[in-house]
Chains A and B, each alone.
Chain A
Amino acid sequence: MDLSLGQLGMASLWLAFALAIYAIFAGVMGALKRDARLQTSARFAAVAVFLALTTAIGIMETALLSNDFSVKYVAEHSRLASPTWVKVVTLWSALEGSVLFWGWLLTGYTALLAITAPNNVLRPWALSIMQMVQLFFISVVTFIANPFIVMAVPPLDGPGANPLLQNHWMMAVHPVLLYLGYVGLTVPFSYAMAALITRRPGIEWMTQTRTWTLVGWGFLSAGIIAGGWWSYEVLGWGGYWAWDPVENVSFMPWLTATAFIHSVQVQERRRMLKSWNVMLIVLTFSLSILGTFLIRSGVVSSVHAFGDGPVGPFFLGFFILVALSAFGLVAWRWDQVRDNAELDAAISREGSYLAGNVLFLAMAFAVLLGTLFPLIVEAISGNKVTVGAPFFNQVSIPIWLLIFLLMGIGPLLPWRKAEEQSLKKNLLFLLMGALLSAGLAFILGIHRVYPLLTFALAGFNLVSLGLLIGGAVVPRARLSGRNVLLVFKQYAFESKRRFGSMIVHFGVIVIALGVMASSAYRVDQQMRIDYGSSAQFQGYELKAVGPYTYPELSILQSGTLTEQDVSHISIGAKVEVWRGSKLLKVLNPRINRFLGRPEQPVPTPSVLYTPWHDIYLNISGELNADSTSVTLRVVQSPLVTWIWLGGLIVVLGTAYALSPSRRRLRETHELRGSAQA
C-alpha cells in the first residue's frame, strides 16, 4: 500500500507527540530523582522530538512543492501557478501551518538547549518546562488544527495563499522573525521557572539565558519593524502602524521583554528585583500566548483578515494555565524571591532602570487595556466598539518621551548613588544638547509640542551617548597616552555588551525621529490624473504616462493566457516622478488580482524611497486596462525610511552585543572553573 504524504505527516506528528510526552516524563523524573541517565534520556528525546517535527515540516514542504492537493492544508492554501517561494512560505501563511512552524522552531530551540546548555541543577527543569510548552504546540497541531488531514476527493487546484500575504516577499520573513522572538523568550521563562522550582532565585537563571534573551528580543524587535514595513508596502494607506490588535499583541511582549532586559541588570549588580524579574518574564511569555489567542480566535476584530480557527479556546486555556501556574509558583516561593536589598537612592542607575520599567509596564498595560476594552464593553453593554488610534497615541507618546528622557540619563548614572557634582555637569551638557536640537528643529519649521520634544530628546540622547563614550575613552587615552581613536576602537571591541547597547539606543533615537516626523508631518491627498498629463504634489511633478499591466497588455488582450501561466494579473498606472527637470523614478502603483482568489483584489502601492521623505502612490478606486485616467492616493511621509534604518541599527547593535568578546570568554571560563570547584 502506498502511503500518502498526509499519512506520513500525521505519523510524524504522532511520533513527535509520543516522544514529547516521554521527554517530559523522563525529564521531570530525572530531575526529581536526580537520575543522570533519565536526564540524559530526556535530552536525547528533545533532539528526537525536533527530528520528528523536522520530518513533518519536510513532508509539508514536499506536499506544497509537489502540489499534493490530497493534503487539506495544501488544497486550501496553495495553488499550482504560485511561484516557488510562495509555495515554500505557504507553510506559515495560514493557521495550521503557522502553529506547526512555531512548534518546530520551539523544538529546535529545545534541542539546541539540550545539547549546549551547561550541566547544572537548573537544566533538567528548564528543559522540562520547554518540553511542556512544546507539547502544547504539538498537541494543537496533532489534534485541533492538524494540517495533514487527507482530502477524500482532492481538488485539481487550490485557491492559493491569502493575497495580502503573497503580495509581498516580506511575508516570508516577518512571521519567522516574530516566532523566533517568541520562542527565544521561552528559554529565559523556562529557566526562571526552573530557578523557582529548585529554590535558586539568584542570578544564575538570567546569566545563563542572557544570550537567548537578547536573541529573542532582537528577533522580536526585527519582527515588529518588519511587520511595520510589510504594512507600509502592502496595506496601501501609507502608514505602518495602526494600533490594530494584531500589531498590539506583538508590541506588548516586546515592552515587557524590554523592561526585563534592563531590570535583570539591576539584579546582576545589586541583587535586587528578584521577584520583579521573574514576573516580567512570566508576563512576557504569557502575553505572547494571550496575543496568539486574541488574533487567532477572532474575538477582537482586526483589519488583518487571518482566518479564525478552532485553536482559540486552547490558546486561552494554555494562557490561563501558564499564568496561574507561573504566578502560583512565584507566590509559593515568595520567601525566596523577596528582596533584602533596598534602593540606596532614587537618582542612581538602578533607580532609573526601575522608573523605566514602570513606564514600559504602564505602556504595556495601556495597550492591553485598549486592545481588550472592546471585549469588556461588549460583555457589559452589548455595544460593539473599537478603540481608536487616538487613545493609544495619547497614552503612549508621553510615556515614550519619559522613557527617552530616562534613556539619556540612566546609563550616565552610577550604580547605588550619583555624586551631585558629576551629575550637574552631565545634566548641563545634556540640556545643551536638547536645547540645541530643539532650536535647530524650530528654525527648520517644526513648531508643534510633541515633535519639538522628540527632537530635544534626540539631541539629549545623542549628547548622552557622546558623554558615555567620551567618559570611557578619554581617561584611558590620557592615562595610556595613546590615540583617542585607537582607544575607542579597543573599547568598542572589548566592551561589546555596553557598546552594543549604545548602538541599540542610537537606533531607537533614529526610529523615534522617523515615527515622529512621518506621523506629525504626513501629507495625504487623493488626485485624479489623466494619462498624458501631470499633477503637482509637494514640489514634485507626478506625470501619469499610461497604463501599467502585468503581463504585458498585448498578452492580456490576446486572450491566450491560461491560469497556469501566471499567478496574478496586475493593472496599474505608470507614473513618472519629476523634480524640476529631473526624472527621479517611474512608479507603478497597481491592483494585483490573484487568480485563485479573484474576489480579493489587492491595491499595491509603489514607493519612491528617499532619506528625507517618501513619495507613496496607491491606486484609489477602480482601474481598467483601457482607463484614460488614474485616481491616486498620494502620501508624503517625512523621515519614514529612518524607521526601517533605525530598526536595522537596533538589530545590528543587538548582534554586536551578542558577538563573542574576549572578556566574556574569560568570564565563562571562570564560571566553569568555579562551578567545578
Chain B
Amino acid sequence: MKKLIYGIAGVVILGIAGALIYKALNSSLVYFILPNEYAAHPDQYKNRRIRLGGLVEAGSVKYDDKNLQLAFEITDSIKTYPVTHVGAPPELFKEGTGIVVEGHFEGQTFKSDQLLIKHSEVYKPPVDGQPIDIKMLKDTLQ
C-alpha cells in the first residue's frame, strides 16, 4: 500500500515536471536560419525569437551615434533583410563580415538585441559574381 502511494506520487510529480519541461522547452527554442529560409516560411517563425545568420551587405551600414542606433542589411546572397540593432557596432563589424543577430522580425525588419561577429578561417566571402555556397555559409556561421 505504502509503495503504491509513493509510486503514484512519483508518477504524478514526474508527469507535472515533464509537462513543465515540455512547455518551457517548446517556448525557448531559438531557430538558427538564413534570410532565404525565413523568406520561404515566414509564418513558421512568426513572433518567435530567432538567430539570423548572414553577411553584412556592402554599403548598407548606418550608425546613429547619438542614439546608438545601428542599421544595416543582412544577406545570404539570395535574400536580403534590413536589421536594426540598439548599440554600437562591435570591433571587426565590417561590410561582408559574417554575423549572427538574435531577435525577431517586425514586418520585414529584423530587430536585433544581440550581435555576434562570426569569424572563420574556413569561410571566405566570395568574389563578385560567384554564387555563395549556402550550406557552407550556414555551417560556418553556426
A contact set with B: CB distance below 8 Å: 301, 342-343, 358, 362, 366, 369-370, 373, 377, 383-391, 394-395, 398, 526-528, 591, 599-601, 603, 620-622, 629, 631, 633
Contact = CB atoms under 8 A, between A and B. Distances in A.
Interface in B58-83: 65-66, 68
B13 A526 contact: no
A366 B16 CA distance: 13
A387 B68 contact: no
A622 B89 contact: yes
A603 B91 CA distance: 9
Contacts of B88: 526, 528, 620-622, 631
A384 B32 contact: yes
Contact of B20 (A383, A395, A528): A395
Given A526-B86, A526-B88, A622-B88, A391 B32 contact: no
Given A384-B138, A386-B51, A362 B17 contact: yes
A352 to B, nearest CB: 14
Contacts of B2: 342-343
B30 A388 contact: yes
Nearest to A591: B91
Interface of A is mostly: mixed
A599 B119 contact: yes
Contacts of B4: none
A528 B66 contact: yes
B22 to A, nearest CB: 10
B65 A528 contact: yes
A579 to B, nearest CB: 25
Nearest to B23: A394
B21 A601 contact: no
Interface in B14-67: 17, 20-21, 24-25, 27-33, 49, 51, 65-66
A528 B89 CA distance: 13
Given A385-B31, A603-B91, A620-B90, A526 B24 contact: no
Contact of A631 (B13, B68, B92, B138): B68
Given A384-B138, A599-B119, A391 B90 contact: no
Nearest to B90: A621
A385 B30 contact: yes
Given A386-B30, A387-B30, A621-B87, A528 B25 contact: no
Contact of A366 (B21, B31, B92): B21
Interface string B114-142: 00000100000000000000000010001
A345 to B, nearest CB: 10
Nearest to B44: A383
Contacts of A388: 28-30, 49
Nearest to B92: A601
Contacts of B13: 358
22 contacts: A343-B2, A343-B6, A358-B13, A366-B21, A373-B29, A377-B29, A384-B32, A385-B31, A385-B32, A386-B32, A386-B51, A387-B28, A390-B24, A391-B27, A394-B28, A395-B20, A398-B20, A526-B68, A528-B68, A603-B90, A603-B91, A621-B89
